[in-house]
Structure 1
């Protein structure tokens, strides 16, 4: 479900009330740990973090003239979705996350290729999300993107 919002706080105000606190905590965990250079934004109907055009003028090949996406957070019908393109693109980072997850949550990991789904708002492993955010720099994401995705 796409939410039309002008800012992170506007986005959060438009999601179900029972998810708002969890969203604020997730946004804080990401912002407190993400390496310098990534920029919070609203894109594709989600809260996102991307590499701005002033750092990577080539931008995103799928949407020319837009920042290079890296992570996103969305309110879906039955869960919160946390997207991390680095885990999709770098298998050893995915392996690390999957291995660490049970240390931070008693729930089974519900994950797609780059999407971690959280159905229980009280059991989101914020410390693990924060640590994950430290694992890839802007330059590393650009290098991976250019070597694997940019056509």
Structure 2
């Protein structure tokens, strides 16, 4: 459920009171631990924490006009979510997050890079704070560029694999049945 709100404050005003309270609490932890260089703004219809073009002019690989996303926080139809771009392609970071989340006694519900939660009590705020603080902008850019390079290499390898001619065995031509009929009449 993407919002068309232009500002974070407008986005928060749109939310039901319980969701607003939960999103604001998670937002507060993110802001308190956000390393220097990231900016808070609306991004993809959610609250986003991004690397601005002034620091990373390339922008987001999927849309270079957009700044590089780091974390997005949003309210969806059936849940709230933290979209953690930094977890895509980084199994160690994802494993650390899962372990810390579970060690805090909370249920961990994550897809590729999206942690879903229904209420504030489901979120170990201290883990979110540690996670966000652990990735300064320069370290995040290095990580994400490595992931983008690996994706590009995989795509290139896939293309070259498709481009190679198949090694089909030549088949023997069978004489057509009409040819056999003619030769049997002779």
Residue 89 of structure 1 corresponds to which residue in structure 2? 89
Q: Which has more radius of gyration?
A: 2
CA apart distance, 1:118? 0.5
1:40 and 2:40 matched: yes
Are the aligned partners of 2:97 and 2:131 in contact in 1 as well (CA < 8 Å)?
A: yes
Residue 144 of structure 1 corresponds to which residue in structure 2? 143
Any stretches of 5+ residues in structure 1 without a counterpart?
A: none
Distance 1:134 1:43 in 2: 20
1 or 2 for the larger relative contact order (CA 8 Å, sep ≥6)? 1
Could you report, residue by residue, the CA deviation over 1:13-49 in whole angstroms, capped at 9, with x for unpaired residues?
A: 1122211111111111001111111111101101001
Secondary structure, in 3 states, of the residue corresponding to 1:136? Answer: coil
Any stretches of 5+ residues in structure 2 without a counterpart?
A: 153-186
Residue 21 of structure 2 corresponds to which residue in structure 1? 21
Write 1 or 2 for the structure with the bigger share of helix.
2
Residue 122 of structure 2 corresponds to which residue in structure 1? 123
> Could you state the TM-score of these two structures normalised by the residue count of structure 2?
0.76
CA apart distance, 1:12? 0.9
Secondary structure, in 3 states, of the residue corresponding to 2:73? Answer: strand
> Could you state the TM-score of these two structures normalised by the residue count of structure 1?
0.92
Runs of 4+ in 1 over 6 A off after TM superposition: none
Distance 2:71 2:63 in 1: 16
What is the Cα-based RMSD across aligned positions, in Å?
1.4
